[in-house]
Amino acid sequence: MILGPMPATILIVDDDPHIRHLLVFAFGKAGLETIEAADGEEALAQVERNAPDLVVLDINMPRMDGLEVCRRLRATSEVPIFFLSSRDDEIDRVLGIELGGDDYVVKPFSPREVVARTMAILRRTAPRAPQAEASPVIRHARLSLDTEGWAAQWNGRDVSLTVTEFTILRTLMASPTRIFSRDQIIDHVRGPGFALTDRTVDSHVRNLRRKFAEAGGGDVVETRAGIGYRLGPCGGAAPPA
């Protein structure tokens, strides 16, 4: 008997059992496995034990909030993180992205929307069938991306990126002379129609710049005032003052 690929496993972290059960049902209908955690400490233990493919993470929880859980996970893992926010507070959302979150939705939310966004993230990270001649590695000066292995390098040194950071950089590298508006970046990363803000895009770009600057690449992404972003020369120059 030939077995198909194992379904992805989603860790749902929320102190409200009703929300957990709602998402367990929605993900189950989509053919995904789920595990649950009622607080941040249990979430960290579940990640350690079960290595989920994605974490759906409530921001506002007792004992340890979602932002602290994200901070601790990012110290050791690049598992995609999808935030649930109980209030429409842009500061929380932007901070979550800056800590390494990949997406977010504000409560009350549509379970179908959460599943759709989760599936989009999983598709971006799924292994791809090898192509006969096309190389999965794209390069620009000292920067290289392995688009199948989801690996970024600067001067041969690995730079750890989240799914969203990687996708933004891949978008810029695909058209290195093009300037992308923030709306165009959102369309490439999420697909059209997602209600993200300019500040969220800016937060991801700040993360990219910081990570590459720490590796010696201060000129990976350029800003074009009033327009958007494009790929920089990637020669190793210091970031602009």
Tell me the longest C-alpha to C-alpha distance in the chain: 61
Over residues 105-122, the mean pLDDT reads 89
- What the chain holds in terms of domains, given with CATH numbers, is 9-125 (3.40.50.2300), 137-231 (1.10.10.10)
Distinct helix (H) and strand (E) counts, the chain: 8, 11
Contact, 152 vs 220, CB < 8 A?
no
Residue 35 β-bridge partners: 11
Q: What are the pLDDT digits (tens) for 164-195?
A: 889 899 999 988 889 999 888 887 776 554 55
Tell me which amino acid residue 197 is: T
Of the ranges 93-97, 99-103, 133-137, which one carries the lowest mean pLDDT score? 133-137
Residue-wise pLDDT tens digits, 121-153: 888 776 655 444 456 889 999 999 998 888 999
Query: How many C-beta atoms surround the C-beta of residue 172 within 10 A?
Result: 26
Residue from 61, 23, 18, 21 nearest 43 by CA: 61
Q: Please give the distance of CA 24 from its chain centroid, rounded to a whole number.
A: 21
Q: Are 205 and 182 contacting, i.e. CB atoms less than 8 angstroms apart?
A: no
Q: How confident is the model at residue 1 (pLDDT cuts 50, 70, 90)?
A: very low
The overall pTM is greater than 0.75: no
